[in-house]
Amino acid sequence: MRGLFTQFEAPDARRFVPSFDEPSYKATFDLSAVVPTGDMAIGNMPVARSEDLGNGTKRVTFETTPRMSSYLLFFASGDFERSAITAADGVEIGIVGPTGTGAQMTYARDSMAELLPYFDDYFGVRFPLPKLDNVAAPGASQFFSAMENWGAIMTFQRLLLLDPKLTSPGLKQGIYSVEAHEMAHQWFGDLVTMGWWDDLWLNEGFASWMAAKATDHFNPKWNWLLGQIDGREGAMSQDALATTHPVVQHVRTVAEMEQAFDGITYQKGQAVITMLEHYAGPDTWRDGLRRYMKAHAFANTQSKDLWEAIEQAGGADINRIAQAFTTQPGVPLVRVTSATCAAGKTTLALAQGEFSLEDTSGTSAQTWPIPLLLSAGEGEPVQHLMTGKTDRVTIAGCGPALVNSGQLGYYRTLYGAQALGGVLDGFAGLSAIDQYGLVRDNLALAMAGYQDLAVGMDFIAAVPADSDPVLAGNVASLYAALHEILEDDGAKAQLRDLASATYGPRLAALGFEARAGEDLTDTALRSELIRDLGGMGDPAVVTEARSRFQALAANPDALDGPLKSTWLAVAAANASPEDWDLMKSLAEKANSIVERQLYYAALGEAKDEALAQRTLDLAISGTPDATSGAQMIVAVAGLHPDLAWNFVRGHEDAVETLVSSSGRARFQARLVRASTNPEMVGTLEDYIAGIPADQAKPVSEALARLKVRLRDRPRQRAQIAAWLQAR
């Protein structure tokens, strides 16, 4: 593929055009470019005119943009083709990709045409540009998926073009979700823009929330909101460390700006918005957003402008709650100290604290006004705002007492023994989303030491294997994650056997091949179970994966289809030297950059340390592209963190050519995400001391996580082993 693409967020438009390159300096832009005659040129606006210059080039001039921030300016030129359709609101939707990929554009194009009128209606402001393109950039990126340039979204190819030979079910869902996220930005971020990067979450948190809302609206069978719990868990894991930051944070330098694109900004932002929307009521919330959009179109705002608009629409207490959750860091912890039933009603005694991975006392000097959603088995859940350190609430019913019914709140719930027993007893009758929320909550609390891991394991085991496909797949992945932390002893084998006994029959019923007309959730579950059981070493799955992979030697197309990346992952993890050589050869012969990056990344999954070393050597050889090289090193670090860290330290000049300067701190942090080496503590402390303070946040967080792992891992292993033995 031959092409040129711009990417300006956050501080790089000034490298393209002299400008006051800050979000509050909005302007209109007139852009023209001289490009090869046969190339297609794409900008924010449609082409106004094209002039043949007679020397193998042409001058393309675009229409004037609306008033917008400089980081949203976009230009691309290359050997492209475009597939276009007119949406119901009259806007032309286009997908742009390499010549020859037109057949892969239909799903993304039609999805965008479906989404655009939905956003027009929800926000109460029609999309103000005459066209909306989504341009496929080559392959994948190390750190992001797409960019919301106004009228000309850029998305990396693997998350835009649906290739039936390569696209997994998860990636197909990802195409839809990423499109919804970037399209939501056309309002949150492009039409109305944060005044400064302190309020980046007004862009990213809201786009994440709106993408989930729209994806769930059009794809109800995907049970998309259940999957969003994983994002909330990721945010809470980051927010429970002393290295966290508020959602609204003060940004002073370019390095701080780049590091603001994290789980707090995206996933905590999304979770807090979800909670606020339910507290205000969906109609009041939507009306407030419409006020906000109309009042601040083509202008800049701060968070307070949004809260004022919601309260003007009738959202009481929104500013108070929002300020608490966005300007102070941390995860609230609600303890259910007792749950007493009398005369058909349950009285809950509650206490508020803070969930921390480093200080498990649960106490905190700060408090939050926490919107609780309470239920005990009868009627609709009751909304209650907990404002003090303690509270007592009486609700109808004597069933399992839920404090975060529907999983709409951003807080953890720690049950006392009596209430916990009632929740487990009534677990089977709860919704899938509440079951999964309780599993993740109780597992996180147990992993951190607030309760024995037997509790977390009991909740995992309480989810039946024949449950909702999304729930089943997510819980199977928890077995795989716990399997990774165990040492190579009897407990590890016991956990693998338990997972195989639980989910092997479900996989057998699904079969190894997709069935005509099956729901995408079944296709996704098959992929998840193969990956998880195979990753744990299930003999039947590993044998099948190796057999399918080795067929590639005779037929390079043997694995083509939605499970290609899944089978590759299992085969790569269990690779022999001959398998590794075959995979390397397939990467070098691959016809597309997406396929090539898939093979190269798989090389880094090998459990064999000698093969891991060969992968590291290959990564900096110049044969893989820079993105693949960096991804290979990070993949090796998942199983061999010390090997990867020491390799990077010994080849810093070569590795730095693979990673952008703005992403180096995040890259270094990813190298030690699985380390349990006590000596790495001092190594990281020395590394942090040698880099600028404004670049240290990702590595400081990695150090904090390492210290928590070193403290907790022996207890976690012992408690899991005891639970398995007791079964």
Give the C-alpha separation, 600 to 584, whole Å. Answer: 7
User: 139: which residues sit within 8 A by CB, 6+ positions away?
Assistant: 156, 157, 158, 593, 594, 596, 597, 625, 627
User: 196: which residues sit within 8 A by CB, 6+ positions away?
Assistant: 22, 23, 24, 251
As a whole number of Å, the end-to-end CA separation of the chain is 56
Give the C-alpha separation, 237 to 442, whole Å. Answer: 13
- Catalytic site residue from 114, 182, 277, 595: 182
The Cβ of residue 508 has, within 10 Å, a number of other Cβ atoms equal to 11
Residue 570 Rama label (left phi>0; alpha psi -120 to 50; beta): alpha
- Kindly tell me the burial class for residue 16, based on how many C-beta atoms sit within 10 Å of its own C-beta (0-12, 13-18, 19 or more): middle
Give the C-alpha separation, 531 to 528, whole Å. Answer: 5
According to DSSP, the β-strands at 345-355 and 331-342 are antiparallel
Cβ(465)–Cβ(503) below 8 Å: yes
Provide the token pair at 4. Answer: 């040129």
Provide the token pair at 24. Answer: 């509050």
According to DSSP, the β-strands at 146-147 and 131-137 are unpaired
Provide the token pair at 164. Answer: 């039936």
Number of H helices, E strands in the chain: 27, 19
Give the C-alpha separation, 594 to 445, whole Å. Answer: 39
148 has catalytic annotation: no
Provide the token pair at 348. Answer: 């809950």
Cβ(324)–Cβ(268) below 8 Å: no
- Kindly tell me the burial class for residue 515, based on how many C-beta atoms sit within 10 Å of its own C-beta (0-12, 13-18, 19 or more): exposed
Cβ(569)–Cβ(168) below 8 Å: no
**Of the candidates 587, 590, 589, 592, the residue with the CA atom closest to the CA atom of residue 603:** 587
Q: Coil, strand, or helix at residue 653? A: helix
Give the C-alpha separation, 481 to 643, whole Å. Answer: 21
Give the C-alpha separation, 715 to 583, whole Å. Answer: 39
Q: Give catalytic residue positions.
A: 182
